[in-house]
Structure 1
Amino acid sequence: MSWGEDLRIRREELGYSLQEVEDETKIRKLYLEALENETFSVLPPKVYSVGFVKNYARFLELDVNQVTQQFKLLAYGNEEHEEEHFVSTNNLNKPLLPSWLTATNVFAAAAFLLLAIWIGNYLVSYFAGQNIADEPKPPVSEPDKPVGDQIPGDTEKPDDVEEPDETILPPEKVIVAVTATQNCWLRVTIDGVHNFEGTITAGDERSFSGEESVIIKAGNAGGIDIEFNGNEIGVFGNFGEVKEQEFTL
């Protein structure tokens, strides 16, 4: 029995027609038939297709992660293996980073760290130069003739000036990632300030970050998946449910 047949059989066990599933999930009947027949060329781009599969599996009360992984292997097998190989190879060469560290956050933290180190080096050099300038110059005198085995120019070198170590840690933030599997009205408040309000469509992915808190209010809680500071929370609530939740450190 194939992957698509499993979906069809489960749908028929629950007593739903394709039209009824379309009405409930808002997934077009054309795409539902493509999933059950495994005609993946009919499907839209990957991000939308994966969202449809998650939504359909959740509607059929199946294991969402298992069904989604099987779909990715069937529809994007070579691409998935290449991505896994790339990730595993890089993991052997460098430590893992938290998933909430996006490229923008890493770049900003690196730039801030370099700036702090540059300022630290500048201050050390500046004050070291001030100390040297304040010291009185010794009177000029003729050099003494070497006595015995004394070697001219053999003088003690001053100890090296130790520069203080500085470690700058990136500031902790509240980061909430939202992925829409259905159309959903959304309102977002960050650190007490209204940030976003509008309708996101299936396949949309948005990320919101704040210093203290991020409040998410959804008009269709079952139509969005939530990820909080790199941890996957999963579906926000039930289909058609209005739900509001605050995320803090």
Structure 2
Amino acid sequence: MSIGNSPEEDRNPPADDPNPAVDDRPSIGQVLQQARIAAGLTVDEVSSSTRVRIPIVHAIEEDDFSRCGGDVYARGHIRTLARAVGLDPAPLVDRYDAGHGGRPAPTPAAPLFEAERIRPEPRRPNWTAAMVAAIVAVTGFVGFTLFSGEDSGATGGTVAEGPAPAKTSTKPTPTKPAVDPKPVPSESAIAAVPADKVTVILVADAKSWISAKGNDGKTLFDGFLEKGDKKTFQDDEKIDLVLGNAGPIELWVNGKKIEDSFEEGAVERLSYSKGDPEAG
């Protein structure tokens, strides 16, 4: 009788091997790289067509998503690169979510509605302050004029009665500055844009990377907008935009708000010129 495992047991290990099977599928970066090569595209060409910077394209193809700036931007870059090389982005995004804690829960509707309701309110005190300043300025000017007239020309009792009608005439004067702002909407400052230029205003409701270029190809801005940040761009002919996280961006073009519904994490490439706003 032998002690220990028999030769047959040594040659045939038990079926319930505790080591799990290794996933031999190509990684996300490998899939994107192989599809790019199969499509005959270089990294420079993919970067130019998607506006995703070359170092980030290289990093994603090496499965390094740390340079994307977070999960939201990583998903957006994966979608953009997959479409550029002719792949369906959904399976790749699902694999990314499975390896990075899953997709985040959607933002509740109530806070979004509250933010939308509250956002225009900070602009209202500007009109109130302007009205108060105008009233104070007019009243001070009229009072100074009246007192100056009394000091220079008052020699008898008849002159002392002269300012009385002038004082009564000043009562309706302060109401004149208040009449003008009433018909102006709360976004009149945005609407008041020069007709001979293209004007684009961006307001971020959450962190988002944006790039803006003028008609001559010169970069006007390339970086991140934090929540509450606002950027205004003008050009004589055209402005090209790339929104890295288009969902939380509010957009006004030539004084008109763009009502397009952009998805969170989606990368949008837009172009606007003079006249009616029109997505590029």
TM-score range, shorter chain: 0.3 to 0.5
**Which structure has the highest strand share of the two?**
1
Report the TM-score, using the length of structure 1 for normalisation: 0.41
Structure possessing the higher radius of gyration over alpha carbons? 2
TM-score for the superposition, normalised by structure 2:
0.37
